[in-house]
Amino acid sequence: MSTSKLVYHFTDSRLFSTFLATLPRAALLEPLRNDDLLRNRYFKGYRLTDKFPDRSALERLFEKEILVHENHSLITPLCVHWLEAHRDLFDAALHNLAVPPGNPRDHDQWLRAVHVALANGGHIETAATLAAALAKQHAADDIAILVSELR
């Protein structure tokens, strides 16, 4: 997957920062704890603790891994954690698209239904209608990230 195929909030630095800022620290450390090569590329010889690495170092790591090294295996777990942290927005979006409620971790099921709903109503038109409906109760950046994830 080339950078041009990435979801928009990974290529927009402000949205990417907003996206990462809302993720729990444990979600950011999880890929490092599960992948020795990744951890050693950035923090060789260091122990991961409650304070190390700091959030800014983690943010730089994910930006470099995803955008420069094209390590796209990090994308799905981060997106799932973001959707879980924004469950009310996720549920409202599925409801608005007439898609049955879903678990963010079961993305193969609900994402297919979302794509059908977007295609049936026209992608741009449906996304605009969805954003307008969600704007009454949710932040614009969160809506932009969500719509980006549904693509």
Per-residue pLDDT band for 3 (boundaries 50, 70, 90) equals: very low
> Is residue 1 predicted with pLDDT exceeding 50?
no
> Is residue 141 predicted with pLDDT exceeding 70?
yes
Cβ burial 96-127 (10 Å sphere, 16+ → b, else e) = bbebeebebeebeebbeebeebbeebeeeebb
Nearest to 126 by CA among 112, 147, 143, 145: 147
Stated pTM of the model:
0.87
Looking at per-residue confidence, does 53 or 50 come out higher?
A: 53
